[in-house]
Structure 1
Amino acid sequence: MRSRVGTLLWRAGLAALLVCGIGLLPWLSRTDPALTVLKARSADRDATPEVLADIRAQLGLDDGPLHLLGQWLAGLPRGDAGRSWISGTEVMPDVLQALGVSLLLVAVALTVAVVTAAGVCARTLYLGARRGLDGRPAGGSGSAVLAALPEFLTASVLATVVGVQWGWLPALGWYGPQWTVLPALALGLPAGAVLGRLLDDQLPAAFAEPWALAAAARGLPGRSIARKALRRCVPGLLPNLGLFVVGLTGGSVAVEQIFDIPGLGRTTLQAAIAQDLPVLQAGTLVLVALAAVTTGAARLAARLIIGPALRDGALHTLHRPPPTARRILPLAYSLLLFVVIALGLPRDPLALDTRARLQPPSTAHPFGTDALGRDVLARVAHGALDTLLLALAISAIALTAGILLGLAPRLSGPLVDTVNAVPPVLAALLVAAVWGSGPTTPVLAVAVVAWAPLAAHTSALLREERATVHLTATRALGAGPWYLLRSELLPAALPPVARHALLRLPGIALALASLGFLGLGAQPPSPEWGLLLAENQPYAERAPWAVLAPATVLALLGALAVTAAGALRLPRRRRTADPEGPADPAGPLDPADSIGPAGPRAGEPPAPEAKLAGAR
């Protein structure tokens, strides 16, 4: 009970700290809030001292940020979040209306994501139900292309082709269910591909558990076994599903901008740009509350699905050393990416040739040229160095922070919810306000939020691993906490979380590209990928190669990340006596380690008892 109260206080403190930090944003950025509000109300009006003084008097800016923040907090218990500094209307009804729009869009997008994830795992479920798996996920790398598709690019293509050219579905506005299809596809396809890959990574181990082997031996239908294996793997992914809900609610800014959707993400972004603090604070507070509710629902659903096995320590580990993964595809994708970069680096990405504007691919320009006659191959290759290096560095930092914070779920749980409630775009605006705009702004903004899914995944895996039979037996043999952490828990959590970090690598590159697309990252004439997509999007119909080239390289990066994640393994090694732990804690304490169609573990000789049994 005391720990729950402490967690609630920690969560409330983090939310208050975030909201108060946003309330101090204009003063932290050393800008005049009255001038910003004036430009947002009427860009053509002159900023005379009299006009600015009148705005300060209307908003009470002369009383200072603490007084304004106190007034805003005092009205919250009554449901009063103040009035907008720009429009003068009440904030809470507008924010709740925007939340309803975003929740409807997220519900349809999650439906698309679930269908996409089912398609990614379909082959693995089929093979596992029919004849078992060899420990390697059966899914291919096609889902990597979906995961690496930029949401804003997918939204633009769908709006232009399906909505405008073909006229099948409406492309702009928000007037009914038909207007949700195209933006939901743009949001749900990448999210479903990532969730499907995470689920596909755990299914082989579930099919190799003792209950699945016994059920197959007794002749239970494969469909029933597949359904129970799916149920076994879902609880470990529910925290990430909750993060997707909050991330899609506040982070779908680019999609809402393209389709002109009055959602919460777009409302929050516009308020942040105009420094409309009451709207920005209310939107952020709603996102934090949504994150807390979603996380609580995800944990409750995980407990209901697993049942008393989580409490009684009766689970079997899903971590097992699989066979050697195929390395042909990662090498092939790496070679293709290396060839693109090697061919483009000798070229000048800034050379202008107005006589060769929007030229199609040719021998002189393999990827064609852009609207200024610059070589697209050169710009893609030079932009790849910055994008890839930054994405790798952010991924490494996020993995380290996610593992460390995932070890302390009571500390990291509320922190994950609070951080996840801040969309990368809003984080970029906050960083730009305090740190200043520039090429480092998107890096800091993405690094601040990139660790949250990895920490949630680590906490979920460790919670299930602590409830396994073999860990209970190892603890009963006298193993201490540090021994269990070093020899059992970390070896079980590190490989799947590291593979998850690799799967997130294209997403980090996409987040950097999205901020560049929205003008919050690198500025022209930089060849950064997001800026390339933003510059060439108006010419997508006339010169599609200018957009397809960076999008294809992003998809290639996603395929490389997925196949490399499949090759990343950290098999457990058999240990001898350890002075810090039991005599042989890695022995066959878990039936899943000793029962299976292949007998003993791969690469190990049969046990002496097995030889004697065979002789008899």
Structure 2
Amino acid sequence: MLTLAGRAASAAAIVAAVGALPWLAQTDPALTVLRTRSAEQEPTPEVLDAIRREIGTDGGPLPLLGRWLAGLLRGDAGTSWISGTPVLPDLVAALGVSVTLMAGALAVAVPVAGALCLRTLHLGSRRRLCRTRSGTAGALLAALPEFLLASALVTIVAVRLDWTPAYGWDGPQSMVLPSLALGVPAGALLGRLLDDALPAAFAEPWARAATAAGLPPRVIARHALRRCVPALLPQLALVTVGLTGGAVAVESLFAIPGLGRYALQAAVAQDLPALQAATLALVLLGAATGLFARAARRALLGPALRARALPPLHPPVLATGRVAAAVPVALLAVLAVVIGLGLLRDPWQVDTAARLSAPSWHHPLGTDSVGRDILARLGHGALRTLAAALAVTAATLVVGVLAGLLPRVSAGAVEVLNAIPAVVAGLLVAGAVGRGTVGAALAVTLVGWAALAAHTAALSEQERAGTHLVAAAALGAGKWHVLRRHILPAVLPPVLRHALLRIPAIALALAALGFLGLGAAPPAPEWGQLLAESQAYAERAPWTVAAPASALALLGVLAVSLAGVRR
């Protein structure tokens, strides 16, 4: 009951905040609507008053929200302020497209996740578990920007090879490239989390007993998967919703009329009825997916959870070698050299005669679209990028762990906030605290802690059902002792590694808000901003995106390597 109330309260708060967006941002919706409809008409007081009466903003946010909610009860989601057409038919069509694309992305993500875990499953089922190389590959793929992968796929597969359409939504062929662009990073994230949990399952007594009894390795591997998958089902639910509402860049690049693109266009144009309806659809989708994941977890672990008969999932200490130990040192050295060389150059110097110049001795990483040295901008943007990304990561980790330890209170907020695209959160935060780096960081933190909270809640629930905690309680251990000595030591390491995997995505989210005028404004030398600015030149000058993308990928691999993730 408490979880259901949390879902309802969170959904109501988000919908109300979106309904008050024009007043939070202190902008006149009538002026925005006028400029969208006609750029030549003069914004006289009479014209603006007529538009306010037409769209219903003359009475303030509460009557407007009340009329919209009353219309929902009649099956009417309102009329678009921009097009003047009913919102519901367009919303249903966009939702159908996004759900279809989500299914295609999941069809890619699941095999990618399985491929990253295949070696661990093979070695673990034969009692020969050691450190594998899937951590580095998984971190690289998880750190790969979706829109960069999408641009590369369009250039190679659609343009040069002419195998699939380059854009549009017409038939199964048009699903291939966007499904790959969305599914590969999502599958890499899920695969890394699953690969990180499998050694603990193979080290449990049942696995040793099964091996001694002569069970086939494939049977042992199947049971290990069943042991680890329930803790990752909340992550799968969050990723699923993210593939629907968070696919803004991919949907825009491929001109796909999906829900993410629909919400972005409504947010930028301040088309309040369309934005409210899209937000509500995403919230309901997040809640339904969360309920399904919770039911699936209960079906897989229900008896053991009720009987408190689960062994603790503590990963064993695995042997490592000099090559694996040298990876973070090598990556750190590469980044340090690049940053050091870049700091010796001027990031603001413009050479119009050298626009989009290829890498050379004078410009080792080439130049951007206005002739600025990419190496200089990469070096000078390191501090800004690292400081912002690490600060947001730390904030999401703290909030996520604290909220995850109280799952009955936070479950509703987790599902609702995860369904909100970062751009909508950026608009809400910008209206409250203003535009800038701080506002962008708060917006990304607002939606970024949800995944870590879901991971913490799933792990802590299984840990609390462990037999060792029953023994500890029987010996007189209090709640704080159990939390400090048993639950946190088991939960924090995997959640920390999960948070570090998301550093490149956080940097890109901050850059996306800056690109829309909600964060650090161009031409700030920030890695994600460099990548966003260079997206239009990916085909003509691939070095403009290769440098910042490589830096972000190396940052992700370095983060998980320093945290001790298995490689």
Query: Gaps spanning 5+ residues in structure 1: where?
Result: 569-616
Note the C-alpha offset of 1:278: 1.0
Aligned partners of 1:391 and 1:505 also within 8 Å: yes
Q: How does 1:347-366 map to 2 (within 5 A)?
A: 347-366=345-364
C-alpha displacement of 1:141: 0.5
Partner of 2:248: 253
Shift in Å, 1:269:
1.0
Change (3 A) 1:26 1:389: same
**Shift in Å at residue 320 of structure 1?**
4.0
Question: C-alpha distance in 1, partners of 2:182/2:541?
Answer: 25
2:266 aligned residue: 271
2: CA distance, partners of 1:184 / 1:317: 36
Q: Is the 8 A contact 1:536 1:546 kept in 2?
A: yes
SS in 2 for 1:327: helix
Output the TM-score relative to the length of structure 2: 0.96
Taking the aligned partners of 1:224 and 1:518, their CA distance within structure 2 comes to 51
AA aligned to 1:283 is A
* Larger RCO of the pair (alpha carbons < 8 Å, separation 6+): 2
Which of these residues, 456, 459, 462, is aligned with residue 458 of structure 1?
456
Q: How does 1:223-242 map to 2 (within 5 A)?
A: 223-242=218-237
What is the match of residue 117 of structure 2?
A: 121
Q: 1:320 to 1:524 in 2, by over 3 A?
A: closer
Q: Secondary structure at the match of 1:141?
A: helix
Q: 1:316 aligns with which of 311, 314, 317?
A: 311
The SS at the match of 1:130 is coil
Name the stretch that deviates more: 162-171 or 114-123. 162-171
| Identity fraction in percent | 62
Tell me if the contact between 1:137 and 1:204 (Cα under 8 Å) persists in the aligned partners.
no
Q: Offset of 1:137 from its aligned partner?
A: 5.4
Aligned counterpart for 2:29 among listed residues 29, 33, 38: 33
Q: Which letter does structure 2 place at the counterpart of 1:266? A: R
2:94 corresponds to which letter in structure 1? Answer: A
Partners of 1:101 and 1:262 within 8 A in 2: yes
Which residue does the alignment assign to 1:70?
66
Deviation track 1:567-607 (CA, whole Å, cap 9, x = no partner) reads: 59xxxxxxxxxxxxxxxxxxxxxxxxxxxxxxxxxxxxxxx
Partner of 1:101: 97
Cα shift at 1:518: 4.7
CA distance in 1, matches of 2:450, 2:364: 40
Quick one: structure 1 residues 324 and 382, their matched pair in 2 at CA, closer, same or farther if it must change by over 3 Å?
farther
In the alignment, residue 275 of structure 2 is paired with which amino acid?
L
Letter aligned with residue 26 of structure 2:
R
Aligned pair count reads: 563
Choose from 85, 90, 105 the match for 1:89. Answer: 85
- Of 534, 538, 541, the residue aligned with 2:539 is 541
Q: Tell me if the contact between 1:516 and 1:530 (Cα under 8 Å) persists in the aligned partners.
A: no
Q: Which amino acid aligns with 2:342?
A: G
Check the 8 A contact 2:144/2:549 in 1, yes or no: yes
Per the alignment, residue 477 of structure 1 pairs with 475
Inter-partner Cα distance in structure 1 for 2:516 and 2:118? 36
Deviation at 1:354, TM superposition (A): 2.1
Match of 2:179 in 1: 184
**2:337 pairs with 313, 336, 339, which one?**
339
Structure 1, residues 304-355: CA drift from partner, whole Å, max 9, x if none?
1224111101111111452465532111111111111111111110011223
Distance in 2, Cα, partners of 1:567 & 1:266: 35
1:299 Cα offset (Å): 0.9
1:44 shift after superposition:
2.8
Partner SS for 2:360: coil
Deviates more, 1:320-329 or 1:209-218: 320-329
By how many angstroms is 1:237 displaced?
Answer: 0.5
The whole-number CA distance in structure 2 between the counterparts of 1:358 and 1:80 is: 51
Q: 1:556, CA displacement in angstroms?
A: 1.0
For 1:22-61, what aligned pairs fall within 5 Å after superposition? 22-61=18-57
- For 1:154-553, what aligned pairs fall within 5 Å after superposition? 154-323=149-318, 326-553=324-551
Moved more, 438-447 or 459-468: 438-447
**Change in 2 beyond 3 A, CA 1:261/1:74:** same
> 2-side partners of 1:8 and 1:499: how far apart?
30
Whole-angstrom distance in 1 between the partners of 2:135 and 2:20: 48
Q: What's the counterpart of residue 563 of structure 1?
A: 561
Retained in 1: the 8 A contact 2:196–2:565? Answer: no
Cα distance in 2 for partners of 1:562, 1:463 equals 25
Look up the equivalent residue of 1:96 and give its one-letter code. V
**Alpha-carbon distance in 2 for matches of 1:115, 1:149:** 17
Determine if contact 2:515/2:521 at 8 Å carries over to the other structure: no
Helix, strand or coil: the match of 1:364? coil
Matched residue, 1:152: 147
Deviates more, 1:515-524 or 1:125-134: 515-524
Whole-Å Cα distance in 2 between the matches of residues 294 and 423 of structure 1?
16
Change (3 A) 1:447 1:195: same
Q: What displacement does 1:491 show?
A: 1.0
Conserved 8 A contact 2:126-2:211:
no
How far is the alpha carbon of 1:536 from its aligned partner? 2.4
CA deviations on 1:405-432 (whole Å, 9 max, x unpaired) are 1111111111111211211111112222
Residues 305, 132 of structure 1: alpha-carbon distance in 2 compared, 3 angstrom cutoff: farther
Amino acid in structure 1 at the alignment position of 2:274: V
* One-letter amino acid of the structure 2 residue matched with residue 276 of structure 1: D
| Cα distance in 2, alignment partners of residues 210 and 423 from structure 1 | 43
Which residue of 2 is the match for residue 603 of structure 1? none
1:51-94 deviations in Å (ceiling 9; x for gaps): 21221221222222211111111122222111111112221222
Instruction: For residue 298 of structure 1, report the CA deviation from its aligned partner.
Output: 0.4
Give the counterpart letter for 1:213 in structure 2: R
Kept in 1: contact 2:17–2:428 (CA 8 A): no
Quote the offset at 1:133 in angstroms.
1.4
Deviates most, 163-172 or 116-125: 163-172
1:439–1:521 CA contact under 8 A, matched in 2: yes
Q: For residue 370 of structure 2, give the secondary structure of its aligned residue in structure 1.
A: coil
Query: What is the distance in 1 between the residues matched to 2:161 and 2:515?
Result: 26
CA distance in 1, matches of 2:499, 2:136: 16
Matched residue type, 1:123 = R
Q: Distance in 2 between matches of 1:512 and 1:409?
A: 28
* Cα shift readout 1:444-468 (whole Å, capped 9, x = no counterpart): 2111111111111110001001111
Quote the Cα distance in structure 1 between the aligned partners of 2:132 and 2:414. 29
The separation in 2 between residues aligned to 1:264 and 1:44, in whole angstroms, is 30
- Aligned equivalents of 2:389 and 2:310: distance in 1? 36
